[in-house]
Amino acid sequence: MPTSPRLPARVPLHNRPMGILASARAGQRNVLELIPELATRAPMLSGRTGGRWYMVMDPIALKRVLRDRVEDYPKSTVTKLILEQAIGDSLFVAKGAEWLWQRRTAAPVFSHRNVAALAPVMTAAAERASGRVAPSHGRGVDMFAEMVAATFEVISDVTFSGGEGFDRGAVHRAIEGYIANAAKVSVLDMLGVPGWVPRPGRVMGGGAMREMKRIADGAIDRRRREGAQDIPDLLDLLLAGEDPKSGRTMTTSELRDNLLTFIVAGHETTALTLSWALYLCAFAEGVQDAARAEARAVLGGRAATAEDVARLPLTRQIIDETLRLYPPAAFLSRTAMAADELSGVEIRAGDTVVLPIYALHRHHLLWHNPDQFDPSRFADPKAIERFTYLPFGDGPRVCIGANFALQEAVIILATLLARHKFSRIVGKEPKPVMILTLRPEGGVWLKVDAI
């Protein structure tokens, strides 16, 4: 498969030590600027910025943090401070027994059978997205905005399929406002100031989040009264779910926090993956041509379905390589709860352990030409060493919606590539910036043409 000698958009990693104020400014501007260039060449780094921290890129140590000693490395205090206003103590941030019963309850919801049953919603969204960009043939289109619209349609349809009384526009605006205002690292976070001290940005985003929760609570209560849809959606499946060990079921607030987690994560991360994938296809025209030929051979003139996914291996490889270069969750943080040793280094309780997935995926000791776009790396997924590639995490807390996201991404990308050609626009190169997720600052502007 052809590859390009040029390199797609990257984050300029720093080469000098950073103090607390410089780190806080970088965290506000782009979290990935906290990663030193050395992190792409060393197994582990350490430092002190308000407290001791360790940056881990060693796959063996990552396995220990994410799988072997997962209970000793819960999500960091800063992560919880950023997210709790939006998603409470949901599956994403809960720990210990509170996490375990929620995971057992929600896991069947994302079974292969249930995910496949939701595919028609993805196919319909792909069809609508293709129809929206068709009138713009010959012109530039912000494909990030288009992919956000498409994936939000999917997640809202599979979450609250009835839609009555569920103001999707209000929820979408609340999410966007929260990410813009509240989902940034505060200098108070860097200094270790207690969580009860207000962070101005999170105070600003509080009203919209309260309204979003009110809307979701109302939709859940109505569904309890009216019963399940003819074709069960995620809300129906969660309402029917119970912990197989304790028999515990979710309250309205627990349902709401988990559904909002799925809505925030389920559309944002897939929209980003699709946007970056389209940029990379425009960047490497040979790859795009090959993927288009594959999609047209399988689909003809129709939109992709769940049954097509296994017959679109190159499309899937493009998604996998996109998740390597631009992982939505590119910077994870954990707090050590007990003494341990990672890569021969002593870890104390209270230390911050950073998992810079962006650096791991571009590590020069783990990947050949790591900054180059080359989907053929994933031609044999079994050849990828475990814990060198972590777009969805790993271990017991691996992303519960990974299969849902991958199915959706392949369906939408194949449908678009089969019908449209995407080209770069001079002066409109996207800039990778991570706030809560790794976003393309300014959008992904591509020229769209008919085939």
pLDDT in tens, 182-197: 555 544 454 444 554 4
* Distance between CA atoms of residues 54 and 334, nearest Å: 10
Average pLDDT over residues 98-103: 93
Whether residue 303 contacts residue 126, with contact meaning beta carbons closer than 8 Å, is answered with yes
- 281 among the known binding-site residues? no
Instruction: Please give the torsion angle defined by the CA atoms of residues 387, 392, 393 and 399, in that order, rounded to the nearest 10 degrees.
Output: -140
Tracing tokens 């605006």 back to the chain, one arrives at: 173
Q: Say whether pLDDT at 90 is over 60.
A: yes
pLDDT in tens, 348-394: 999 999 999 999 999 999 999 999 999 999 999 899 999 999 999 99
Reading phi first (left if > 0) and then psi (alpha if -120 to 50, else beta), residue 138 is in left
**Helix (H/G/I), strand (E/B), else coil: 242:** coil
Q: Say whether pLDDT at 109 is over 70.
A: yes
pLDDT at site 309: 98
pLDDT band per the 50, 70, 90 thresholds, residue 1? very low
pLDDT in tens, 208-257: 677 778 888 888 898 998 888 878 889 999 999 999 999 999 999 999 88
pLDDT at site 213: 82
Name which of 14, 45, 17 is nearest 31 in CA terms.
14
* Distance between CA atoms of residues 412 and 307, nearest Å: 13
Looking at the chain, how many residues does it have? 451
pLDDT at site 193: 47
Domain boundaries, the chain: 20-450
Whether residue 298 contacts residue 308, with contact meaning beta carbons closer than 8 Å, is answered with yes
Kindly state the DSSP code that residue 385 receives in the 8-state scheme: P
* Pick among 3.10.150.10, 1.10.1740.10, 1.10.630.10, 3.40.50.20: CATH of 20-450: 1.10.630.10
pLDDT at site 132: 97
Instruction: Tell me the range of 83-87, 177-181, 322-326 where mean pLDDT is highest.
Output: 322-326
pLDDT at site 190: 46
pLDDT at site 325: 98
* Distance between CA atoms of residues 87 and 435, nearest Å: 17
Q: Within 10 Å of residue 225's Cβ, how many Cβ atoms? A: 6
What are the b/e assignments for 338-364, b being 16+ CB within 10 Å? Answer: eebebbeeebeeebbbbbbbbbbbbbe
* Distance between CA atoms of residues 176 and 380, nearest Å: 37
Q: Say whether pLDDT at 307 is over 70.
A: yes
- Report which of residues 446 and 84 the model is more confident about: 446
Whether residue 213 contacts residue 233, with contact meaning beta carbons closer than 8 Å, is answered with no
* Distance between CA atoms of residues 422 and 430, nearest Å: 14
pLDDT at site 367: 97
Instruction: Tell me the range of 210-214, 285-289, 436-440 where mean pLDDT is highest.
Output: 285-289
The DSSP string of 175-228 is: HHHHHHHTSS--HHHHTT--TTSPPHHHHHHHHHHHHHHHHHHHHHHHHHHH--
pLDDT at site 172: 73
Calculate the alpha carbon distances from 430 to 9, 287, 426 in Å.
7, 19, 11
Bridge-based pairing state of the strands 52-56 and 352-355: parallel
Predicted structure pTM score: 0.90
* Distance between CA atoms of residues 122 and 124, nearest Å: 5
